[in-house]
């Protein structure tokens, strides 16, 4: 058995290690506390620096100046509102004069129109003629418009009758706008 | 060996003696952690809230400054004349007389005669608050042929107050049109002092010019004898 074998640490060495550990622990504790305090102070200063109250005061000043032009402000508001409405009306309303003019232009001169009805969705034309060719021309013209989707989308021949007393053909067509 | 020794107590005392110097640092660390959760995290939230509020207020301030700039640079005479044009196009209330003037003046210009007609204007003082635009609806019989009626609807489409023809029935000698005349009360305009005020844009100026080019029935003198309409007030 060797006399140099010693399984226990020397007492001084052990207490030195313990002291180092304690110092490190103390340092961490104090450092953490200081860090928390420092962060709290910095955030507090930042909150004070942002200060929305000063912006509010500026707003009040500007609002005070704007109030001098209140009359103009109200007029401009009404104007904008009315422009918006007028624009909406002009944009959405159907151009009926254009629709009726275009349809009338397609009706042959030897086919007097008895009725022309135009509403939001449909148009109905009825007339009479002694000539079938005039009626054919009307149907051809309107069919061409419907094919090109020019004003009307479809064409239905509602009736075609012969009035013996007048000696004339009566025609009625309906179209979708 | 009569004295009894409590081994647990001895052990605890040994552990306490060995680690008592760590107690204070552990307490400090715990206090720091509690402080962090109780004060620092709420402070961060308060900072974020303050920054958000400041940003919103700054944006509002910019809008207000811009509004002030727009308002101070407006020519009030021009604004008045523009407002007058728009008020002629869209009357403030159900102005039955102007509507009648408009229809009769249009009939005169188109060279057509009007039959007797009636319309219901409802409660004159009642403010309407619907999404759709308020209108006064009329059914107007016209004693004219196709050409005359077409001329009438062409003219009325270029006349103020603004109106819309919803249907046309053209016969050989007499015809009928369904007309909706628009108006807009002041109550329909919403006011928000913090909303951005924009000056009249070029597009809007073009619209005002277009409306200015429309015919104004109010300047056409119409004798009261011509007014054959029966106004039914609900």
CATH number at residue B113: 3.30.70.60
Helical H runs in B185-232? 202-212
Domain count, chain B: 2
Q: Give kind and range of the element (H or E) at residue A163.
A: strand A154-163
* Among the ranges given (A10-19, A72-81, B72-81), the one the predictor scored with the smallest mean pLDDT: A10-19
A144: helix, strand or coil: helix
- Euclidean distance between CA atoms A19 and A57, whole angstroms: 59
Which of A117, A115, A139 lies closest to A127 in space, CA to CA? Answer: A115
- CA of A4, closest CA in chain B: separation in Å? 29
Output Rg (C-alpha) for chain B, integer angstroms: 39
- Say if strands B215-216 and B159-160 run parallel, antiparallel, or are unpaired: parallel
The model's pLDDT over B171-214, given as tens digits with 9 standing for 90+, comes to 877 788 888 888 888 765 566 777 888 888 999 999 999 999 98
Catalogue the long-range contacts made by B57-61 (C-beta closer than 8 Å, 24 or more residues apart): B57/A52, B57/A55, B57/A56, B57/A59, B58/A55, B60/A59, B60/B194, B61/A55, B61/A58, B61/A59, B61/A62
A109 contacts on B by Cβ (under 8 Å):
none
Residue B76 has its nearest CB partner, among A72, A81, A101, at A72
- Euclidean distance between CA atoms A132 and A140, whole angstroms: 12
- Euclidean distance between CA atoms A115 and A136, whole angstroms: 18
Which of B115, B133, B163, B110 lies closest to A96 in space, CA to CA? Answer: B163
Helical H runs in B36-174? 41-72, 76-89, 96-110, 146-156
Residue B228 has pLDDT above 50, yes or no: no
Contact assignment for A82 to B166 by CB distance below 8 Å: no
Domain co-membership, B45 together with B161: no
SS percent in chain B: helix, strand, coil, step 5? 55, 15, 30
Residue A76 has its nearest CB partner, among B22, B60, B197, at B197
The model's pLDDT over B80-120, given as tens digits with 9 standing for 90+, comes to 999 999 998 888 887 788 888 888 888 888 888 887 766 65
Which of B159, B122, B162, B156 lies closest to B140 in space, CA to CA? Answer: B156
**CA atoms in the 13 A half-sphere facing the CB of B95:** 22
* Among the ranges given (A65-74, A79-88, B28-37, B222-231), the one the predictor scored with the smallest mean pLDDT: B222-231
Domain co-membership, B63 together with B88: no
B68 contacts on A by Cβ (under 8 Å):
62, 65-66, 69
pLDDT value at position B227?
37
Domain spans in chain A, listed from the N-terminal domain onward: 51-92, 96-176
Contact assignment for A52 to B210 by CB distance below 8 Å: no
Q: What is the mean pLDDT of chain B?
A: 80
Residue pairs spanning A and B at CB distance below 8 A = 202
Beta bridge partners of B113: B143
Interval A29-44 mean pLDDT = 94
- Euclidean distance between CA atoms B211 and B207, whole angstroms: 6
Q: Which of A15, A28, A32, A56 to mutate to test the interface with B (most CBs of B within 10 A)?
A: A32
Domain A96-176, what fold?
Answer: Gyrase A; domain 2 (3.30.1360)
Domain that holds residue B30: 1-73
Residue A159 has pLDDT above 80, yes or no: yes
C-beta neighbour count of A72 within 10 angstroms: 20
Residue A8 has pLDDT above 70, yes or no: no
Locate B96 and state its tokens.
Answer: 């039955």
Residue A89 has its nearest CB partner, among B21, B50, B164, at B164
Unique residue bearing structure tokens 């422009």: A83
pLDDT value at position A5?
64
Interval B160-172 mean pLDDT = 85
Listed residues B73, B100, B119: the one ending a domain: B73
Cα distances from B41 to residues B26, B36, B54, in angstroms, run 21, 6, 20
Residue B40 touches partner A, C-beta closer than 8 Å: yes
- Euclidean distance between CA atoms A115 and A108, whole angstroms: 15
pLDDT value at position B35?
93
Q: Which of A76, A90, A108, A170 to mutate to test the interface with B (most CBs of B within 10 A)?
A: A76
A39 contacts on B by Cβ (under 8 Å):
36, 40
Domain co-membership, B111 together with B56: no
Percent of residues, chain B, with pLDDT higher than 70 = 80
Which of B62, B145, B83, B139 lies closest to B110 in space, CA to CA? Answer: B145
Domain co-membership, B64 together with B81: no
B140: helix, strand or coil: strand
Residue B124 touches partner A, C-beta closer than 8 Å: no
For residues B130-168, one letter each, b for 16 or more C-beta atoms within 10 angstroms of the residue's C-beta and e for the rest, the string is eeebbbbebebebebbbebbbbbbbbbbebbbbbbbbbb
Domain co-membership, B39 together with B92: no
Residue B184 touches partner A, C-beta closer than 8 Å: yes
The model's pLDDT over A39-94, given as tens digits with 9 standing for 90+, comes to 999 999 999 888 888 899 999 999 899 889 888 888 888 898 889 889 988 888 88
Domain co-membership, B93 together with B32: no
Domain co-membership, B109 together with B159: yes
Interval A117-126 mean pLDDT = 86
Residue B192 touches partner A, C-beta closer than 8 Å: no
- CA of B3, closest CA in chain A: separation in Å? 31
Q: What is the mean pLDDT of chain A?
A: 86
Residue A34 has pLDDT above 90, yes or no: yes
Contact assignment for B32 to A32 by CB distance below 8 Å: yes
Q: ipTM, 2 decimals? A: 0.71
pLDDT value at position B188?
53
Cα distances from B88 to residues A60, B28, B129, in angstroms, run 37, 80, 21
Domain co-membership, B124 together with B202: yes
């Amino acid at each position: 058995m060797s006399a140099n074998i010693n399984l226990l640490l020397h007492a001084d060495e052990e207490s030195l290690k313990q002291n180092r550990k304690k110092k490190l622990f103390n340092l961490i504790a104090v450092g953490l506390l200081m860090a928390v305090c420092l962060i709290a102070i910095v955030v507090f200063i930042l909150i004070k620096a942002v200060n929305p109250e000063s912006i509010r005061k500026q707003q009040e000043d500007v609002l005070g100046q704007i109030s001098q032009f209140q009359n103009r402000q109200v007029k401009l508001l009404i104007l904008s509102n009315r422009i918006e409405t007028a624009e909406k009306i002009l944009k959405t309303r159907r151009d009926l004069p254009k629709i009726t003019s275009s349809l009338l232009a397609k009706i042959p001169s030897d086919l007097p129109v008895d009725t022309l009805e135009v509403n939001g969705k449909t148009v109905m034309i009825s007339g009479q003629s002694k000539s079938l060719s005039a009626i054919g021309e009307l149907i051809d013209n309107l069919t061409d418009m419907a094919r090109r989707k020019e004003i009307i989308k479809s064409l239905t021949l509602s009736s075609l009758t012969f009035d013996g007393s007048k000696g004339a053909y009566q025609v009625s067509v309906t179209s979708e706008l | 060996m009569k004295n009894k020794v409590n081994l647990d107590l001895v052990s605890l005392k040994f552990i306490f003696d060995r680690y008592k110097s760590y107690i204070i640092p552990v307490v400090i660390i715990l206090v720091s952690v509690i402080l962090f959760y109780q004060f620092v995290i709420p402070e961060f939230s308060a900072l974020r809230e303050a920054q958000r509020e400041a940003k919103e207020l700054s944006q509002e301030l910019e809008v207000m400054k811009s509004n002030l700039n727009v308002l101070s640079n407006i020519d009030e005479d021009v604004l008045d004349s523009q407002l007058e044009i728009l008020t002629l196009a869209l009357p403030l209330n159900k102005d039955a007389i102007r509507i009648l003037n408009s229809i009769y003046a249009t009939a005169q210009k188109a060279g057509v005669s009007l039959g007797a007609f009636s319309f219901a204007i409802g409660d004159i003082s009642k403010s309407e608050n619907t999404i759709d635009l308020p209108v006064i609806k009329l059914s107007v019989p016209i004693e004219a042929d196709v050409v005359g009626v077409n001329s009438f609807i062409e003219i009325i489409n270029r006349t103020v107050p603004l109106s819309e023809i919803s249907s046309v029935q053209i016969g050989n000698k007499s015809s009928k049109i369904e007309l909706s005349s628009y108006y807009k009360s002041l109550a329909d305009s919403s006011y928000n002092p913090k909303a951005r005020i924009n000056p009249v844009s070029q597009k809007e100026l073009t619209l005002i010019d277009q409306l200015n080019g429309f015919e104004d029935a109010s300047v056409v003198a119409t004798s009261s004898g011509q007014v054959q309409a029966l106004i039914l007030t609900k």
